[in-house]
Structure 1
C-alpha cells in the first residue's frame, strides 16, 4: 500500500523553551520562513499495527512552496511551486497536477507552507505533555477533508513528531531529524517539470 499525503506535509515547528503547543506553532509561523529536514514516516491502522514505513527528505519556503521527497522503499515526490502542486509517482510514471489554493486549504501542508491564517482553517488546542514532548492538537474546520486531527509534539525549540489521523482509521506518524531552520534554498528546489513520457493528470481547465 502506498500512502501519498500532502504533508506536506509536511513538518517542523520552532518553539520557545517552556512554551505550550499553541505558542510553539505561533513562534514557528513568526520565525521560520524556510526549513529542511530528513523524515521517517510510519502508517498505523486503528489497532496500532504498522502498515507501511517510508523515509525521505523535505523542505519548505513560506508561503506555498514545499518539496516532499519519498526515497525508500519507493520513490515519490510532491512539489508545490507557489501556484500548483505536482505529485509524481515514479513507479506508476504518473504526475498529478493540482491548483495550490484548492489543494492546500486545510490540508496538513497548509500548517507548514501556507500563510499566517492558520486559525481560519483549524481549531487549535493544547494537548498536554507526554512522551517527553509538548503537544498541540489542530482540528480542521472543514469536515469534508480526508483527515480529522493533527497532533504536533515539540521538544524544546523543534517539532520532534507529528501524528495525522485520517477518516479511514489510519494514523500517519512523522519523525524529523537533522532539521535546519531558515536555510538558503535554491529556487530549483520548488520547481518541477514532468519527465518525458509520463502520464499527466491535471485539474486545470
Structure 2
C-alpha cells in the first residue's frame, strides 16, 4: 500500500492545459506525428488535408501535406519555406511570421511562449485539457489558437483566424523525442523552381 501511494505521488498530475503545455515544452525536444486537418470557411465550406510532421525544437519543423495535394512547409530556425511541387514554386519568409502558414510554428517555438502569446487554461473537452494562446502581435492573422493535451502530449489544435476561418488538426501516431537528423530541417529550393520572398 505504501509503495502504491508513493508511486501515485511520483506520477505527474496535470491540473489543466497550461500545465501540460509547460510540461511538453520542458520535456520535448523532438516530436513526430501524422495529422488530419479540416479547414472550415466562414460560409461553412470545408477542406480536408492530411500528412506527416516533425518538430525539432526550438524553431525547426517539417510539415508535409500528402493529401489532397502535396505541399511541404519547412522551418529551419530562421526562415520559413513553403514548397508547392505542382507549381514548382517556393515561398520564403521570416520564421517569426510563420504561424499563419504552419501550426507547427507554435509547437516548435521556444519555452518563452508567454512573450508572444497570452496563455490561459481553456477547460476540458473531448477528453482533452485545452490551453488557449492569443497572439500579442495581431499581424499573425490569427485571433487565437487552442491546443488539446492528454498526458502532456498535444493531440489536437484549433486555430481561428481574423477572417472567420477555423482550422482543426488531430494528431495520431505521436512519438516524442525520436532521433531526428537536423539536416531534415534544412531546405534547398529545387533546381528550376521559382523562389518568391514574402517579406
Cα deviation code 1:78-123 (max 9, x no counterpart): 1111222111011111101223345469x84442112122001111
Aligned counterpart for 2:81 among listed residues 81, 86, 89: 86
- Note the residue ranges of structure 2 that are not aligned, 5 or more in a row: 1-11
**Under a length normalisation based on structure 2, what TM-score does the superposition of the two structures give?**
0.86
**Alpha-carbon distance between aligned partners in 1 of 2:141 and 2:94, rounded to the nearest angstrom:** 18
* Other-structure match for 2:141: 146
- Count how many residue pairs are aligned between Structure 1 and Structure 2: 187
Answer whether contact 1:17 1:157 (CA < 8 A) is retained: no
Deviates more, 1:54-63 or 1:76-85: 76-85
Answer whether contact 1:104 1:114 (CA < 8 A) is retained: no
Answer whether contact 1:42 1:50 (CA < 8 A) is retained: no
**Alpha-carbon distance between aligned partners in 1 of 2:173 and 2:131, rounded to the nearest angstrom:** 22
* Other-structure match for 1:8: none
Aligned counterpart for 1:27 among listed residues 23, 30, 35: 23
Larger radius of gyration: 2
Cα deviation code 1:104-154 (max 9, x no counterpart): 69x844421121220011111111112221111111111232110111112
* Other-structure match for 2:182: 187
Instruction: Give yes or no for the alignment of 1:198 onto 2:193.
Output: yes
Pairwise CA distance, 1:202: 2.5
Aligned counterpart for 2:125 among listed residues 130, 144, 149: 130
**Under a length normalisation based on structure 1, what TM-score does the superposition of the two structures give?**
0.84
Q: What secondary structure does 1:138 align onto? A: strand
Q: What secondary structure does 1:144 align onto? A: helix
Where do residues 60-71 of structure 1 align in structure 2 (5 Å cutoff)? 60-71=55-66
